[in-house]
């Protein structure tokens, strides 16, 4: 259960870092999901059994429910593996698209694209505000291995255009988000965030799970939603 101060930080600043979210034996199991990656990541993390178990029960599911309520769904999981031969940077941005079952001509949904055979779109602001990302860090992040940086409070400004992003990057002091191995960063995807290239050879393996409390208007549907595992079995 999250402390009231942490919930307030997520509400006001858009992020919070927690230690000891995933125990060491689970971290080792999750690391196995990265051994078969083709490249530096995949958007289809929910197809991997250990990741499915992570998001359906246990501490990660409990964190999501504390912030979003008991009926929230995991709607995606991306695996990132930043290492010596896959070292990238990402400029300031918001995460604005979600994976859907199929493309629909629905008011409020725009910027449709296909990624890995899956339709993605930018949903209305109220759907974006229903989202919570939980980034489980298997190796730990510090200033040397390309950690996430955030601009606190920017999630409360809605969808920002290029000029808005430039304004925020000049006027708001960025915050680095170091995380211990097995810890997690909880983040509202509308929060402006970025990461630099790593300056050390340490790996940074992240499981980025996206949860939502939104109920989509039919016939729209999430691509691969997962709810809670209340009985010890995968849904």
The larger pLDDT score, comparing residue 43 to residue 190, is at 190
Position 82 scores a pLDDT of: 76
Reported confidence tier of residue 121, pLDDT bands at 50, 70, 90: very high
Whether residue 20 contacts residue 183, with contact meaning beta carbons closer than 8 Å, is answered with yes
User: By residue range, what is the domain housing residue 135?
Assistant: 9-201
Q: Lowest-confidence range among 5-9, 47-51, 152-156, 198-202?
A: 198-202
Q: Lowest-confidence range among 39-43, 93-97, 150-154?
A: 39-43
Number of domains making up the chain: 1
232 found inside a domain: no
**pLDDT cut 70: percent of the chain above it:** 93
pLDDT digits (tens, 9 = 90+) for 61-82: 999 999 999 999 999 999 988 7
209 found inside a domain: no
| 3-class SS letters over the chain | CCCHHHHHHHHHHCEEEECCCCCHHHHHHHHHHHCCCCCCEECEHHHCHHHHHHHHCHHHHHHHHHHHCCCCEEEEEEEEEEECCECCCEEEECCCCEEECCCCCCCCCEEEEEECCEEEEECCHHHHCCEEEEEEECCCECCCCCCEEECCCHHHHCCCCHHHHHHHHHHCCCEECCECCCCEEEECCCCCEEECCCCCCCCEEEEEEEEECCCCCCCCCECCCECCCCCCCCC
Which CATH number fits the domain that encloses residue 103? 2.60.120.620
Q: What mean pLDDT is predicted for residues 45-66?
A: 90
Q: What is the pTM of this model?
A: 0.93
Reported confidence tier of residue 203, pLDDT bands at 50, 70, 90: confident
212 found inside a domain: no
Reported confidence tier of residue 143, pLDDT bands at 50, 70, 90: confident
């Amino acid at each position: 259960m999250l402390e009231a101060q942490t919930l307030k930080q997520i509400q006001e600043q858009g992020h919070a870092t927690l230690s000891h979210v995933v125990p060491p034996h689970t971290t080792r199991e999750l690391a196995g999901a990265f051994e078969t990656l083709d490249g530096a990541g995949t958007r289809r993390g929910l197809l991997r059994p250990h990741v499915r178990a992570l998001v359906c029960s246990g501490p990660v599911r409990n964190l999501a429910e504390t912030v979003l309520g008991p009926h929230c769904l995991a709607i995606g999981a991306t695996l990132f593996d930043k290492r010596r031969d896959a070292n990238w940077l990402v400029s300031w941005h918001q995460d604005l698209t979600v994976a859907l079952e199929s493309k629909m001509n629905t008011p409020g949904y725009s910027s449709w694209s296909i990624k890995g055979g899956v339709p993605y779109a930018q949903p209305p602001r109220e759907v974006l505000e229903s989202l919570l990302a939980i980034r489980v860090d298997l190796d730990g992040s510090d200033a040397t291995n390309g950690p996430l940086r955030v601009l606190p409070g920017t999630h409360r400004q809605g969808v920002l255009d290029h000029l808005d992003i430039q304004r925020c990057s000049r006027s708001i002091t960025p915050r680095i988000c170091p995380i211990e191995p097995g810890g997690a960063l909880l983040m509202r995807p509308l929060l402006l965030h970025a990461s630099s290239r790593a300056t050390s050879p340490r790996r940074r393996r992240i499981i980025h799970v996206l949860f939502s409390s939104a109920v989509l208007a039919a016939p729209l549907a999430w691509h691969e939603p997962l709810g809670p595992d209340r009985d010890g079995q995968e849904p």
